[in-house]
Amino acid sequence: MNQRSRALLAAVLLPVISVIAGFVVAGLAVALSGSDPWQSFYALFQGAFINPRALPETLIATTPYIFLGLGVALGFRAGLFNIGAEGQFYIGALFGVFIGYNLHGLPAIVHILLALLAGILGGFLWAAVPGILKARFGAHEVITTIMLNYVAFALVNFLINNGPMVDKASSAPRTPYIDPAAQLPILASGTRLHAGLLLALLAIPVIWFLLDRTTIGFRIRTVGFSPTAARAAGISVAWTLLATMGISGGLAGIAGADEVLGVSHYMPPSFSTGYGFDAIAVALLARSNPWAILPAAFLFGALSSGSRFMQFQTQVSADVISVVQATVIMFIAAPVLFQWIFRLRRAPAPAIKIASETEGAAL
Amino acid sequence: MRKILIPLAVVGALVLASCGGSSGPAASSCSKTFKVGFVTDIGKLGDKGFNDAGWKGVQDAQADSSLCVQGKFLESKQPTDYTPNIQQFVDQKYDMVVAAGFLLGDDTLKAAKANPSVKFSIVDSADFADPVAPTNFTGLLFKQDQGAFLVGALAALLSKTNHVGGVYGLDVPAVVQFRKGYENGAKYINPSIKVDGVFHPAAANAFADPDWGKARAQDELSGGADVIFAAGGATGNGALLAAKEANKPCIGVDVDQYLTYPDVDPCLVTSALKNISVAVKSIIASAAKGQWPSGGVQTFDIKNGGVGLAPYHDWDSKVSADIKTKLQDIMTKLKDGSLSTGAEGLTKYS
Amino acid sequence: MDLVIEWGQVHALLGENGAGKTTLMNVVYGLVRADNGEIIYDGSPATIHGPTDAIRLGIGMVHQHFMLIPPLTVAENIILGHETVGPVSTVDVAKARKQVSALATRYQLEVDPAARVANLSVGMQQRVEILKTLYRGARLLIMDEPTAVLTPQEAQGLFEILRGLAKEGKAIIFITHKLGEVIDIADRITVMRHGKVVATTTPGESSPADLARLMVGRPVMLQVNKQPARPGKAVMQLQHLVVEDERRQTAVNGVDLEVRSGEIVGIAGVEGNGQNELVEALVGLRQPRAGTILLNGRDVTRTSARTFISLGVGHIPADRHRMGIVLEHSIADNLVLATYDRPPFASGIVRQLGAVLSYAKKLVKAFDIRAKSPAQPVASLSGGNQQKVVAARELGRNPKVLIASQPTRGLDVGSIEFIHKQIVTQRDAGLGVLLVSSELDEVLSLADRVAVMYRGQIVGVLEGKDAERERIGLMMAGAA
């Protein structure tokens, strides 16, 4: 097998096989729980693409995956494992909803922009904390971002659950509704599909350009490949890590704000149950390539929205979908398994490198 | 073979997780089925609370062949699922949607306004922004304070130390009414009685924190309280366990916990019932029979059996006839309205 | 490939890096399985599935990096895994020491069995390694690049030992890429190239130039051709420089040195005497604890690597893969690794890939980098071409001073020749060069002045014409 076809195999075939393997395993699970896998997956397909409102709902679910997947992927490119996307998503939503319901009388475009910028700022600040801890003290971002997730959940709980941001007029614990001017416009009437999708689609080339065509992106990739060589070339590794973490958090933050402005229009304490974690799988599936985020996010969006109709038809627990996702992650995260199965001698370039230390060959 | 070991482990875990409720078709003698969709909150099925009780109501309605009901559920993974889950049933031409709990209040009301031909009902919420509810909307409310008042009185009658305790979930209105009702009931028997009580401080696991519940109950017991009332899902269960271990009487909530939580049977005197499944079945029956109530709210109280006391079971012989008479008397007065709990419709604890 | 080793001989295995020497020996030692072919050992076919088999057959290997446990004593290290167990399952240390002593005396490998390995010099540690193999009954000894870490004197001592062992009837395989050593020590020489044996000869039959030609496959200039230096003003001055290592131990201890434009200052020394820390300080990667670094008279002591780069300090790092190149980047990106954000390679934050590519094409040509395209990943190049990329990048931005640390380590003769020529050419054009190398030959052939470093200090500076091997060797060992 030559270099090119092997690279192609690694980039396209492996993710596809991972997804198929995920479905096979999930199909087994469905069968064991007493339903027909074919019927279930057909329902999944209908629920994701065919039924009334199915495609718009899939696209709605795709939107946060795009933002978050881009954010996590960007971190990967710098060698950072940002597990804090979920927390940054929460804080972004918190900042966004705060601007959303506190300001009134602004033109829609101004209000929306302000709220989205607030979301970016929230995610940025929340990610900057582990960024600084990493850059300044070398604290591992996996630990700090995980911990900050819990801080974010607790903070949101405190603020929205009978705290200062609760809607006193409602019996449910949630913030007030955002001003109508802050709501993202609906793209297709009769659906919930909102303009956030366009922003997410715009973010893909922007992040691609940032990574591939700017000096910042070059710094990020260089640090990701080899922090030691980057340092020797006069690149500030600390600054680069901090900036990457910030941008990654900003993307998670805009995802949160976008969800508030486009979908819920208010924020409850348990706002998301795992978008930020799923996004790690999205980034892995896309091998941290910004363009590949789109199909990966679309897949996860389809799984998420299609699972509704699948449950409706089969009355099987929605956790089956989680198994598909988990299996995909597992098969992606274990490339060694695939090399073994397909007798690939050479490892494809790893998607993540936490500490890239290539020793000189001693011969 | 090694390569399939891991996936199989996942499958095994899943099968355990996915065994849940399923629904059979409605009785075949029906000319037309009445289709009911049930949407959970983010607690999902298996919570032994709101969601399970509500779904049981749907299943009970389905089991009643005269109603010709066919029910299906959708679980919500996150709050942004509420609207599309409701919409899913609407799109599939369902006749009625039942929402489990006040967290779905806004989304249910909105859907009701947008789809006047579909009936909507929601447990524990009657939160309509306009003064008048849409005609296709009925909130199911419970006078949980009445049941709590009764068990409060019972606790005071059982206490030898003149000191009783309570452990609660989140301070949402229903739980606030439980607490206040319990406290007022105890004081109705003995104005000088000391009543402890504590709400769980966090939202995420307020009803799912048995360790916390147990520790608080132990605090109260060591402070001198000798009866524990627990109203907070799994959190409350922890408190019941503490009472059982301390060999002190305890009182459950919502359902007859003698049946649902056998671990604490030795200490469980009774439970302050809140018959969500009865209420859900009742509203489905009304809808299926074309007897949809007007006014947007149905209240379930001690008079219509929506709230009350569970059987004493093992404690039947230990609760004196005198106590039983006194409770019967309170029940009568609550029913005819000559006695008020002082906690009716309360939304904030003070 | 065929290779015949006779008992009682030192057999040198000569070849460039990547010629397959070490791989071949790993097969013999059982670390790597051969695809086909067989090993005839002592007259009969041998199956060697792992080091255990090899040791059982009497094959011992001394690796380039020693496999010793520093906190243990010499005797403990030697008997490790083959302990003589005394009563109550205790290790009989006294007996072990006695055995080790006897062995050491017999082979004239004097070493104190009770000394801790951590306190021994590198040369002594090597003796321990040899003793270890002998203790295990080795009759065939494989030595992988054994002189890389030794001073010239230590290397001579090693040769004495090896000759003695050969006289005892042992066979020794001596892996190296250094021509001089081969002539010194070997009874027979096998030259390898691209995984094949290209010749088997003896020192008497072949001159160093012949061997070099066999190794590379074409005639090679062994001597660097250069004119006498015409030094100008000082471009880099170090005053009382003190630098600490990672463990905050003083590694460079009060170094005064000056590099003038148009000269090559060589730093000779056994590895680990503070050279790495010195180099890192001189390129801004390590903050000195005390002292001053002046660049063209300007104090840059507490600035960043970026400042050093922008003020014209070039750096060829010792560890190419860790610090010199980014394997995953293209050749072009590696060539602008330090200048990616300056015009014409970027305007604002937007990179100008066209400018990068045309610049890269120019350098690829000028530095004879053998690549299909500047866009291919640098990982796909050979080590020599990778090093040319580093040299091209650093010299291509016209530095005032070049800090070159082990610039030819691990390279084939052809690449060494090319890089040496580039350094000399740039010197002639006015570049000041500080050359750090543990290969004394390299320092001697390139440097106009030689500074010898020992335990963090410059123990002497010799003009090129006074720099004799012997004298420098003694200074490297701290004996002068």
- Report chain A residues whose CB lies below 8 A from the CB of B125: 171-172
Residue B2, pLDDT > 80, answer no
What are the residue ranges spanned by the domains of chain B? 8-142+276-300, 144-275+304-344
Residue B150, pLDDT > 50, answer yes
- Does residue C28 or residue C364 have the better pLDDT? C364
Residue A58, pLDDT > 80, answer yes
Range B144-275+304-344 classified under CATH 3.30.70.20? no
Neighbours of chain C (3+ CB pairs under 8 A): A
Q: Is residue A349 part of a domain?
A: no
* Pairwise CB contact (< 8 Å): C410 & A359: no
DSSP code, position A50? I
Alpha helices, DSSP H only, in C41-92?
Answer: 51-57, 74-79
| pLDDT at position C335 | 97
Residue with tokens 């008479």: B325
- Picking from A157, A271, A316, the nearest residue to B79 by CB comes out as A271
pLDDT per position as a tens digit, B59-79: 999 999 899 999 999 999 888
Q: Is residue A325 part of a domain?
A: yes
Write out the residue range of the structural domain in which residue A117 sits.
3-342
Confidence of residue B237 (pLDDT cuts 50, 70, 90): very high
- What DSSP line would sit under B32-78, residue for residue? S-EEEEEE--TT-TTSSSHHHHHHHHHHHHHH-TTT-EEEEEE--SS
* Pairwise CB contact (< 8 Å): B127 & A311: no
A-B Cβ pairs (cutoff 8 Å, strict) = 128
Which residues in C2-40 are b (16+ Cβ under 10 Å) and which e? eeebeeebbbbbbbbbbbbbbebbbbbbbbeeeeeeebe
Residue B10, pLDDT > 50, answer no
- How many C-beta neighbours within 10 Å does residue C365 have? 11
The C-alpha atoms of residue B277 and residue A354 are separated, in whole angstroms, by: 53
Distance from CA of A171 to the nearest CA of B (A): 7
- Picking from A213, A234, A361, the nearest residue to C309 by CB comes out as A234
Cβ-Cβ contacts under 8 Å for B145 (sequence gap 6 or more):
B177, B178, B180, B181, B184, B341, B342, B343, B344, B346
* Pairwise CB contact (< 8 Å): B42 & A273: yes
- Picking from A192, A263, A323, the nearest residue to B14 by CB comes out as A323
pLDDT per position as a tens digit, B240-269: 999 999 999 999 998 889 988 899 999 999
Q: Alpha-carbon dihedral of residues C400, C405, C410, C412, nearest 10 degrees?
A: 30
* Pairwise CB contact (< 8 Å): A330 & B10: yes
The model carries a pTM of: 0.80
Residue B6, pLDDT > 50, answer no
Which residues are bridge partners to B298 per DSSP?
Answer: B140
- Report chain C residues whose CB lies below 8 A from the CB of A362: 22, 64-65, 410
* Pairwise CB contact (< 8 Å): B203 & A270: yes
| pLDDT at position B128 | 62
Residue with tokens 């050749």: C331
- Output phi, psi for B229, to 5 deg: -110, 130
- Report chain A residues whose CB lies below 8 A from the CB of C320: 360
* Pairwise CB contact (< 8 Å): B17 & A25: no
Percent of chain A's residues with pLDDT above 90: 60
Residue with tokens 């075939």: A13
- Report chain B residues whose CB lies below 8 A from the CB of A318: 44, 75, 77
Cβ-Cβ contacts under 8 Å for C112 (sequence gap 6 or more):
C74
DSSP code, position A105? S
The mean predicted confidence, pLDDT, of chain C is 87
Least confident of B15-19, C396-400, C445-449: B15-19
Confidence of residue C48 (pLDDT cuts 50, 70, 90): confident
What is the identity of the amino acid at C270?
Answer: V
- Picking from C18, C305, C322, the nearest residue to A234 by CB comes out as C305
- Picking from A225, A232, A357, the nearest residue to C315 by CB comes out as A232
| pLDDT at position C84 | 61
Cβ-Cβ contacts under 8 Å for B59 (sequence gap 6 or more):
B21, B23, B71
Confidence of residue B1 (pLDDT cuts 50, 70, 90): very low
* Pairwise CB contact (< 8 Å): C321 & A213: no
Alpha helices, DSSP H only, in B92-230?
Answer: 105-114, 144-158, 173-189, 210-222
Task: Give mean pLDDT, residues A236-259.
Answer: 96
* Pairwise CB contact (< 8 Å): C319 & A360: yes
* Pairwise CB contact (< 8 Å): B75 & A259: no
Percent of chain C's residues with pLDDT above 90: 40
Q: B99: helix, coil or strand? A: strand
Query: Do at least 3 CB pairs under 8 Å connect C with B?
Result: no
- Picking from B7, B75, B88, the nearest residue to A25 by CB comes out as B7
Residue A363, pLDDT > 50, answer no
The C-alpha atoms of residue A285 and residue A351 are separated, in whole angstroms, by: 9
* Pairwise CB contact (< 8 Å): A273 & B6: no
- Does residue C268 or residue B50 have the better pLDDT? C268
The C-alpha atoms of residue C374 and residue C360 are separated, in whole angstroms, by: 6
Cβ-Cβ contacts under 8 Å for B231 (sequence gap 6 or more):
B148, B166, B167, B168, B169, B175, B178, B179, B182, B253, B254, B272
Cβ-Cβ contacts under 8 Å for C327 (sequence gap 6 or more):
A225, A226, A358, C321, C377, C378, C379
Percent of chain C's residues with pLDDT above 70: 96
Per-residue H/E/C for A243-259: HHHHHHHHHHHHHHHHH
- Picking from A213, A229, A359, the nearest residue to C326 by CB comes out as A229
Cβ-Cβ contacts under 8 Å for C440 (sequence gap 6 or more):
C152, C268, C469, C472, C473, C476
Closest Cα to residue C134, out of C145, C144, C126? C126
CATH of the domain at A322: 1.10.3470
HSE toward the beta carbon, residue B220, CA cutoff 13 A? 29
Chain mean position to CA B191: 29
Residue C12, pLDDT > 80, answer yes
Closest Cα to residue C337, out of C400, C392, C376, C393? C393
* C468: contact with A, CB 8 A cutoff: no
- Does residue C96 or residue B95 have the better pLDDT? B95
For chain B, give the longest Cα–Cα distance: 74
Which residues in B191-212 are b (16+ Cβ under 10 Å) and which e? eebbbbbbbbeebbbbbbbbeb
Residue B125, pLDDT > 90, answer no
Distance from CA of C207 to the nearest CA of A (A): 24
SS3 content of chain B, % helix, strand, coil (to 5): 45, 15, 40
Which residues are bridge partners to C463 per DSSP?
Answer: C449
- Does residue C146 or residue B312 have the better pLDDT? B312
* Pairwise CB contact (< 8 Å): C327 & A359: no
pLDDT per position as a tens digit, B172-226: 888 999 999 999 999 999 999 999 999 988 766 777 789 999 999 999 999 999 9
| pLDDT at position C396 | 93
The C-alpha atoms of residue A347 and residue A363 are separated, in whole angstroms, by: 21
Q: Alpha-carbon dihedral of residues A312, A316, A317, A322, nearest 10 degrees?
A: -90
- Does residue C345 or residue C137 have the better pLDDT? C345
- Report chain C residues whose CB lies below 8 A from the CB of A221: 328-329
- CATH number for B8-142+276-300 (one of 3.40.50.2300, 1.10.580.10, 3.90.79.10, 3.30.420.40): it is 3.40.50.2300
* Pairwise CB contact (< 8 Å): C323 & A232: yes
Least confident of A48-52, A324-328, C195-199: A324-328
Residue B271, pLDDT > 60, answer yes
Q: How are beta strands B137-142 and B119-123 bridged, if at all? A: parallel
**Domains B8-142+276-300 and B144-275+304-344 in one fold:** yes
- Report chain A residues whose CB lies below 8 A from the CB of C351: 213-215, 218
- Report chain A residues whose CB lies below 8 A from the CB of B18: 29, 33, 316-317, 319-320
* Pairwise CB contact (< 8 Å): A361 & C326: no
Least confident of A38-52, A60-74, C111-125: C111-125
| pLDDT at position A360 | 27
Distance from CA of A342 to the nearest CA of C (A): 21
* C342: contact with A, CB 8 A cutoff: no
| pLDDT at position B13 | 40
B124 neighbors B54 (Cβ within 8 angstroms): no
Q: B188: helix, coil or strand? A: helix
Cβ-Cβ contacts under 8 Å for B221 (sequence gap 6 or more):
B165, B228, B242, B243, B246, B248
| pLDDT at position C124 | 85
| pLDDT at position C420 | 92
- Report chain A residues whose CB lies below 8 A from the CB of B84: 53, 57, 192, 305, 308
Domain tally, chain A: 1
* Pairwise CB contact (< 8 Å): A358 & C22: no
The mean predicted confidence, pLDDT, of chain B is 87
Residue A358, pLDDT > 70, answer no
The C-alpha atoms of residue A329 and residue A318 are separated, in whole angstroms, by: 18
- What DSSP line would sit under B207-255, residue for residue? TS-HHHHHHHHHHHHHTT---EEEESHHHHHHHHHHHHHTT--EEEEES
pLDDT per position as a tens digit, A345-357: 443 333 333 332 2
Least confident of A79-83, A188-192, C144-148: C144-148
Closest Cα to residue B181, out of B203, B197, B170, B158? B197
Confidence of residue C102 (pLDDT cuts 50, 70, 90): confident
Q: Is residue A350 part of a domain?
A: no
Q: What angle do CA B238, B241, B245 make, to 5 degrees?
A: 145
Alpha helices, DSSP H only, in chain A?
Answer: 3-8, 14-32, 37-45, 54-77, 85-102, 108-137, 141-160, 196-213, 215-225, 227-232, 237-259, 275-285, 290-314, 319-333, 335-342
Which residues are bridge partners to C12 per DSSP?
Answer: C174, C189
- What DSSP line would sit under C183-202, residue for residue? HHH-SEEEEEETTEEEEEE-
Percent of chain B's residues with pLDDT above 70: 90
Neighbours of chain B (3+ CB pairs under 8 A): A
* Pairwise CB contact (< 8 Å): A234 & C21: no
* C333: contact with A, CB 8 A cutoff: yes
Residue C221, pLDDT > 70, answer no
Residue C119, pLDDT > 50, answer yes
* A206: contact with C, CB 8 A cutoff: no
| pLDDT at position A347 | 37
Residue C480, pLDDT > 70, answer no
- Report chain A residues whose CB lies below 8 A from the CB of B73: 311, 315
